[in-house]
Every structure is written in C-alpha cells, then in structure tokens.
Amino acid sequence: MSPTLLPAAPPGHGSEAASIAAERRWAYIVIVIIALLILMMVFTGLRWASMPPSRVETVDIKRLHVEGEFVESNLGSTMEPDGKVTVRLIAQQYSFVPQCIVVPAGMPVTFRGTATDAIHGFIVGRTNVNTMLIPGFVATFTTTFSRTGEHLMPCHEYCGTGHEAMWARVQVLPTAEFLSKARGGERLNCVPG
Ligand code: CUA
C-alpha cells in the first residue's frame, strides 16, 4: 500500500498522526496474514494434488463377478488364517451383497468392499463404520463392535432412484458364538434361507 493513499496528518495533530501510523501498521500486518494464508492454501493444494493418497487399491469391475476376492462365494464374513475377521461385500444398484452381515462383538473386524456400477456408501447403525464404495476401488474399514445386537446399514451416497431402499443388516454376535461358526473358515452371512 502506498503511503500517499492515506491523508498526511496536519501539523500540530500529533495524536492523529500516531493513529494513522497505527492504522497503517495494522493494515500491513493483515496483508501479511492474508498473503500467508493464500500461500498455505496454494502449497497444500499443490502438494495434495501431486501425491497419491497413502493407500489406493484397485479392482477390475469387469472381472469382479468372475474371479478374485469379490466373487459371490467369497462374500460375507470370514476368519482369516491369521485369526482376523474380514467382511467382504459388494454394493450395486440397489442392494448390498450379502444383505445380512454377521460380525463378532469385542474384536476387530475389517470391512472390504467395492461397488459395481455407481458410487455407493454405507454406515452401520450408530457405530463409526462409514465409508464410500467406488467402482474400481477397494474400500477398507476396521472397527470393533462393543455390543451385540442388530444394526441397519443404509447406503448413504445417492446412487439413483432406488437409493432409499438400499440397505442391509448387520448382526453383532457374541464373540464365542461367532468364532464357533467361523472356525471352519467358510463365508458367513445371516441372509435368511
Ligand atoms: Cu446405493 Cu445409494
């Protein structure tokens, strides 16, 4: 800012000159702060755009139903050989597969999911499970359910005219009950029939 923009203090008005100087000083400070904020925005924006997120896992949607992790017989909950519980699911217009998911209480559960057609997402009841499912990408989410019970699991990304009717159920079983069912390594779900 050029000093000529502000009126010069008339002679004999010392206090006015002081206040104009203070005003000018604060104007410079504010300009420096704004410039710093803009620089920070530019720097972080460029940095985020130039680096990939920490973890990107892709999957071929055309082969999804035919081979690999997300074939229908592999969906549902399972106890991995290392003792961890994984839930694999697929979202499509307008349902989740499986429609009913079983998980144990009191131990970490990892959801691995993807979508076949549009962007979907899900939350599980009032737990912290909340993720988007994007075609071509595998979303993962690990959580521990503290209590047994049943939760609704609605799709929370608008995915088309049937969006409101797209939801699944999650049954949280006592740890021992889940473990006895999962011991054989098969894929579990609670879809009736
Ligand atoms: Cu799927 Cu909304």
- CB of 151 sitting under 6 A from ligand 1: no
User: What is the average pLDDT value for the chain, to the nearest integer?
Assistant: 89
Gap between the Cα atoms of 134 and 58, Å rounded: 10
Residue 147 has pLDDT above 60, yes or no: yes
- CB of 103 sitting under 6 A from ligand 1: no
- CB of 166 sitting under 6 A from ligand 1: yes
Residues 50, 110, 72, 99, CA torsion sign:
negative
Closest atom of ligand 1 to 164 CA is 2
Provide the pLDDT for residue 14.
77
**153, β-bridge pairs:** 168
Residue 56 has pLDDT above 90, yes or no: no
User: What pTM did the predictor assign?
Assistant: 0.72
